[in-house]
Amino acid sequence: MIAEKMKPLVQNNSAIRAMFEEGRRLAGIYGAENVYDFSLGNPNVPAPKAIKTAIMDILNEEESTFVHGYMSNAGYEDVRAAIADELNERFQTAFHPENLIMTVGAASGLNIVLKTLLNPGDEVITFAPYFLEYNSYVRNYDGILTAIAPNTDTFQPDLKAFAQAIGEKTKAVIINSPNNPTGVVYSRETISHLGEILREKSREVGHAIVLISDEPYRELAYDGVFVPFVTKYYENTIICYSYSKSLSLPGERIGYVLIPDEVEDSKEVIQAAVIANRVSGSVNAPSLIQRVIRRCVHERANIEAYEKNRNLLYSSLVKFGFSCIKPEGAFYLFVKSPMADEKAFCELCKKHHVLVVPGSSFACAGYVRISYCVSYEQIERSLPAFEKIAGECGL
């Protein structure tokens, strides 16, 4: 019965989800406190109190047919104006509401942008390791995703290989920084160099190559690290932002697409993206939570908890002999597997009730991802297990 295009998706149904289910099974047997689940990127820091207050105030103060009604497919204009103002204040930009389209999270934003841009057979480039859902998103519009092999010394993109991979069919590039799964933040030099390459290659191939910046982790950066605002480095940049992590609202499904005026044919692109939002079936982003965003544009989840988690987990793993880049953002550690086959290493971890995700789930075998958006206590309790695992691997 099911479509051919769906069959590989059903077959390869997410390893991360499978690990999560395994965690629940183990918790049922050994008790939740004896299972250390580091598999999912589900924020454990609560949403700011201001979110709940805003929901209550909206329901009390704003007219219900308005709050729960349809609006422009791009989203409420006052919501987009509030976001544009906040961005302009922070990044000295000059965005206006028309540059923004409210979306059902970054996942929907990426789909809308790819639907807007891709003809069948168009190529999209990304950098391994990457969020594997990009494969499905690109395939949704009959595009072809190519991944540049990782530079495992720094996990900054390999720009030399990137420049060589661009061809006539290249329509877009997807980057994600702070990165899932490495936690690496792409530096100013990286983004600036990337912009130069894209400018030059766009001229060479005779059409604009669009840089799609997938930014669910933009606000999750530590040690005061600089996170470049990508539209400033390359004119044909489109941002897909999400409040899933910055406000701990992943289930509410809210984010936006930002298409600056500097993008080639921006008016046409914006118009097409608004229509893509409608015909993809979302129609518009959820209404109540859009109104909440208008009141909460300056709010952030408490990322200090993640930073504290990162510090404890990173320093402990390094002490036990594991090797790993110190992440500067997001809430993931990407640890080198001490066993050649990282899936076998994940199995060994599971024997100690530690659940981590194989790097092959991010097109980067030989590593595992550890999500530290968990309680500090879980990390503390898991440390003896990590120490034993290190011992069994001869570290």
Phi (first) and psi of residue 371, to 5 degrees: -90, 125
DSSP letters of 100-122? EEEESHHHHHHHHHHHHHPPTT-
Angle at which helices 342-351 and 376-392 cross, to 10°: 120
Measured from the CB atom, the residue of 26 and 249 that comes closer to ligand PLP is: 249
CB of 180 to ligand PLP, least distance (A): 4
Binding test (CB under 6 A) with ligand PLP, winner from 98, 123, 158, 214: 214
Task: Examine residue 180 and tell whether it contacts ligand PLP (CB under 6 A).
Answer: yes
User: Which residues share a beta bridge with 211?
Assistant: 173, 237
CB of 286 to ligand PLP, least distance (A): 12
Measured from the CB atom, the residue of 214 and 235 that comes closer to ligand PLP is: 214
Measured from the CB atom, the residue of 106 and 147 that comes closer to ligand PLP is: 106
Count of beta carbons in the 10 Å neighbourhood of residue 111: 25
**Which H or E run contains 355?**
strand 354-355
Per rule CB under 6 A, count of chain residues that contact ligand PLP: 13
**Taking CB under 6 A as the criterion, which residues in 290-349 touch ligand PLP?**
none
Task: Examine residue 176 and tell whether it contacts ligand PLP (CB under 6 A).
Answer: yes
Close Cβ partners of 209 (under 8 Å, ≥ 6 residues apart): 166, 170, 171, 172, 173, 198, 201, 202, 236
Contact 157, 190 (CB under 8 A): yes
**Taking CB under 6 A as the criterion, which residues in 72-111 touch ligand PLP?**
105-107
CB of 42 to ligand PLP, least distance (A): 9
Structure-token pair, residue 329 = 């953002």
Task: Examine residue 41 and tell whether it contacts ligand PLP (CB under 6 A).
Answer: yes
CB of 173 to ligand PLP, least distance (A): 14
Place of tokens 């940049």: 237
Task: Examine residue 177 and tell whether it contacts ligand PLP (CB under 6 A).
Answer: no
Measured from the CB atom, the residue of 40 and 165 that comes closer to ligand PLP is: 40
Please, what's the b/e burial string for 188-224 (b: 16 or more CB within 10 A of its CB; e: otherwise)?
eebbebbbebbbebbeeeeebbbbbbbbbbbbbbbee
Task: Examine residue 216 and tell whether it contacts ligand PLP (CB under 6 A).
Answer: yes
Measured from the CB atom, the residue of 158 and 214 that comes closer to ligand PLP is: 214
Angle at 185 between CA 305 and CA 373, to 5 degrees: 25
Measured from the CB atom, the residue of 37 and 214 that comes closer to ligand PLP is: 214
Measured from the CB atom, the residue of 214 and 342 that comes closer to ligand PLP is: 214
Measured from the CB atom, the residue of 250 and 366 that comes closer to ligand PLP is: 250
Binding test (CB under 6 A) with ligand PLP, winner from 71, 205, 250, 381: 250
Four-residue CA torsion sign, 246, 251, 253, 254 = negative
Footprint of ligand PLP on this chain (CB under 6 A)?
41, 105-107, 131, 176, 180, 214, 216, 242, 244, 250, 255
